[in-house]
Amino acid sequence: MGRGAPARAAVAALALGCGAACAAPAGPPALELGAGRAAFEALADGQDVPMVEGSQGGFHLWVSVRVEGAVGEGAELTLEASPLATGRPRQTLRLPPRLEEGAPAEMAGIALVLSRPECFRDREVLLEAELADAAGLRLRDAAVVVPRWPADLGACDRGGGD
């Protein structure tokens, strides 16, 4: 947290709802976007992140989130990635959060698939996360990252669909 770059979205309150078993959070609820396959790794704006070649020939980024405070009922995590210069193509992934117990709670190893990796390689990419609960309250975070892959992937044709 505390990246302070223009791409960073403001953090808003999220309804708490973990019951008596959950201790009161020390501060307001917060969401932090990170990287990492096995564990949460904090991100800094402008940081290089590896593009990963999947077993079926596609590419993805390993994304993680860290949540301070409890998540309300019916929560959904939305991740988006788009090249900063053009906004296209936009990759979006929505899933229910599977947060590991603890303070803070973390979810690591989320594969954000890049259907047109050539449009993301070596470019500034806006990576955004939003965690929303059924009450409509939201937590947001964002970072600018630069996906890296050592080989040429060809030219980015933005003429097709996203």
**What is the C-alpha separation between 146 and 84, in angstroms, rounded?**
10
Q: Delimit the domains of the chain by residue range.
A: 30-148
| Per-residue confidence (pLDDT) for residue 43, from 0 to 100 | 96
**What is the C-alpha separation between 47 and 58, in angstroms, rounded?**
22
Residues of the chain with pLDDT under 70: 1-27, 100-102, 158-162
Which of these, 50, 54, 39, lies nearest to 102 by C-alpha position?
39
47 and 145 in contact (C-beta within 8 Å)?
Answer: yes
32 and 74 in contact (C-beta within 8 Å)?
Answer: no
In order of 67, 68, 75, 96, 146, the CA distances from 104 in angstroms are 6, 5, 17, 17, 26
| Per-residue confidence (pLDDT) for residue 147, from 0 to 100 | 98
Tell me the CATH number of domain 30-148, given options 3.30.2290.10, 2.60.40.2550, 3.40.50.2030, 3.40.50.2300: 2.60.40.2550
| Per-residue confidence (pLDDT) for residue 70, from 0 to 100 | 72
**Tokens 């229910």 sit on residue:** 96
Sheet holding 47-50, edge to edge: 47-50, 138-148, 125-132, 76-83, 91-95
| Per-residue confidence (pLDDT) for residue 37, from 0 to 100 | 96
Q: pLDDT, tens digit, for every residue of 29-51?
A: 899 999 999 999 999 999 999 99
| Per-residue confidence (pLDDT) for residue 100, from 0 to 100 | 67
**What is the C-alpha separation between 72 and 133, in angstroms, rounded?**
5
| Per-residue confidence (pLDDT) for residue 26, from 0 to 100 | 59
